[in-house]
Amino acid sequence: MKDKKGISPLIATVLIIGFTIVLAVLVITWISGTVEDATDDTDCMVEAENKCLASVGDISLSGIAGSALTITNEGSTVFSQIHAVDLDADGATIGTVYEVSGGLGAYDTDNAHPIDGFAESVRVIPTVVGDDGACSTECGPVEISVVV
């Protein structure tokens, strides 16, 4: 047993330092990826919110109760989805939700999107998508009381 030799203290120190460096690189890579994903999500939501703010007043509604409500987009923002909700006289949701298929394109006034059979008033909630298409957010609702 006296003839067996272990590794020298120099080699042991080099191995420990090497393992420590590799472990540090792995941890830093994992943390930076996590932070980058969170930052990208936040950036996307901010872009979508800015689109919402820029599009205030671009959507207009017209119609008569019991017939078709026409939703038009007079601005450059493309809305990926449009949801319309019937409201009663007190502003409470009646429960009928309409969805404009295909959303609402920029300057979409010639091709108005009618929604049939709404009640006294309606709330329209447009949705926009961030520039990279990875996120979307609902913009503030547009409400109209229609002629009875």
Give the model's pLDDT for residue 135.
76
Per the structure, the count of domains in the chain is: 1
Q: Which residues of the chain have pLDDT under 50?
A: 148
Let me know if residue 1 belongs to a domain.
no
Q: How far is CA 26 from CA 35, 60, 78, in A?
A: 14, 53, 42
Give the model's pLDDT for residue 122.
75
pLDDT tens profile 37-47:
777 777 877 88
Let me know if residue 21 belongs to a domain.
yes
pLDDT tens profile 74-91:
888 888 888 778 777 777
Which range of residues forms the domain containing residue 118?
7-148
Let me know if residue 135 belongs to a domain.
yes
Give the model's pLDDT for residue 53.
82
Give the model's pLDDT for residue 14.
94
Answer for the pair 99, 83: CB distance below 8 angstroms, yes or no. yes
Within the chain, what is the greatest distance between any pair of CA atoms? 105
